[in-house]
Amino acid sequence: MTDYKEKKKVGGAEEAKLAADRPPLDQSPLSRGRAAPDSTQGRREALHRLHFTMSAGKVIIYGGRGALGSVVVKHFKANNFWVGTIDLVKNEDADSSVVVSKEDNWATQTTTVIEGLKSCLGDEKVDAIINVAGGWAGGNAASKDFQKSCETMWSQSVWSSTITAQAAALFLKEGGLVSLTGAEPALAGTAGMIGYGMAKAAVHQLTWSLGQENSGLPKGATAVAILPITLDTPMNRKWMSGADFSKWTSLEFVAELFYKWINGKEERPVSGSLVKLITKDNKTDVVKV
């Protein structure tokens, strides 16, 4: 950086004083708020732009900070993908993160996500938008917190899925993939977890609708929902420590399945499909409903 305190041969002390009062280059009014070309931030931004351009592909993971989402993010990063996430908190492994507040309503969360994706993607399109957000709550119609559990399940699964669908309409490439997360038990009644089953059944219906013509998705896009029975997450192991883990689907299997669907190593299901993930003896089969 230029040393503004250096005196010219002509000007003497007055020139030195004026120079001392000038702001450094990276703090001038025109460049304030912008990283200097040789700064750490500037280099980081340059590397980010290079990776965005040179990556093997680009994906957005909704729920990218949860147990499954974190594994999916790491899997795609390991395969040289640019990865963006959407969640209640930032994922440090991702290239870019959009953070939503659980205190915001449905419309506000939608605006936050769409504007956030516009900011990080610009005019670029992505190969896939994958929603692995959600949660679980039990309870039947007689439960004290029945309405609360239904509301929570609806906001976690249905809100995020419809926002994913709208984001796909705007930011997905032609021929891209949008994946939602349903649940195998929600193919039938779920008396002991009504809110959960109701929300997941709505995700199934959304997937069928997105698979039809005039759904708003880009040309040739595939909409699919995975329907796991039980995922092998740390929390599930904590609360169901006596279960048969050999029947649980590993998070790495799900991440690899998404990767294969995107890069063509495994044929995708027909758009609008619900696919069950059935695991037995630690082997998982993908079965179309």
Q: In three state form, how does the secondary structure of 145-200 look?
A: CHHHHHHHHHHHHHHHHHHHHHHHHHHEEEEEEEEEECCHHHHCCCCCEHHHHHHH
Q: Are strands 222-228 and 96-99 parallel, antiparallel or unpaired?
A: unpaired
Dihedral sign for Cα 4, 10, 13, 18, please.
negative
Mean per-residue pLDDT for 168-197?
97
What's the whole-number average pLDDT of the chain? 87
Which of 37-41, 120-124, 150-154 shows the lowest mean pLDDT across its residues? 37-41
Range 64-88 average pLDDT: 97
225: which strand partners? 180, 274
Note whether 219 and 174 are within 8 A (CB): yes
Residue 285 β-bridge partners: 278
Query: How confident is the model at residue 48, as a pLDDT?
Result: 56
d(CA 17, CA 29): 20
Q: Is the pLDDT of residue 9 over 60?
A: no
Calculate mean pLDDT across residues 101-113.
97
Checking if the pLDDT of 200 tops 60, the result is yes
* Strands of the chain, DSSP E: 57-62, 81-87, 96-99, 126-131, 172-181, 222-228, 273-280, 283-288
pLDDT-derived band of residue 5, with 50, 70 and 90 as boundaries? very low
Task: Please pick, among 4, 62, 196, 259, the residue that the annotation labels catalytic.
Answer: 196
pLDDT of residue 52: 65
Is it the case that residue 202 has pLDDT exceeding 50? yes
Known catalytic residue at 62: no
pLDDT score recorded for residue 209? 98
H or E element in which residue 108 lies = helix 106-121
pLDDT value of position 152 = 95
Distance from C-alpha of 227 to C-alpha of 248, rounded to nearest angstrom? 12
3-class DSSP state for residue 57? strand
pLDDT of residue 53: 66
Tell me 227's DSSP state.
E
Q: Work out the pLDDT band at 34, boundaries 50, 70, 90.
A: very low
**Residue 19 reports pLDDT greater than 90:** no
Scanning the structure block, which residue is given the tokens 């908190």? 89
Q: Give pLDDT, residue 264.
A: 84
- Does residue 281 surpass a pLDDT of 90? yes
Mean pLDDT computed over 15-21: 44
Lowest mean pLDDT across 5-14, 69-78, 113-122, 145-154: 5-14
Structure tokens belonging to residue 52: 């965005």
Q: By the 8 A CB rule, do 67 and 232 touch?
A: no
* Mean pLDDT computed over 252-277: 94
Please indicate whether residue 104 or residue 30 has the higher confidence score (pLDDT).
104
Q: By C-alpha distance, which of 210, 228, 212 is closest to 277?
A: 228
User: What are the Cα distances from residue 2, in Å, to 36, 41, 155, 174?
Assistant: 13, 20, 55, 50
Residue 126's DSSP bridge partners are 172
- Mean pLDDT in residue range 192-207: 98
Map tokens 């594994």 to a residue: 71
Q: Which two tokens stand for residue 121?
A: 């993607």
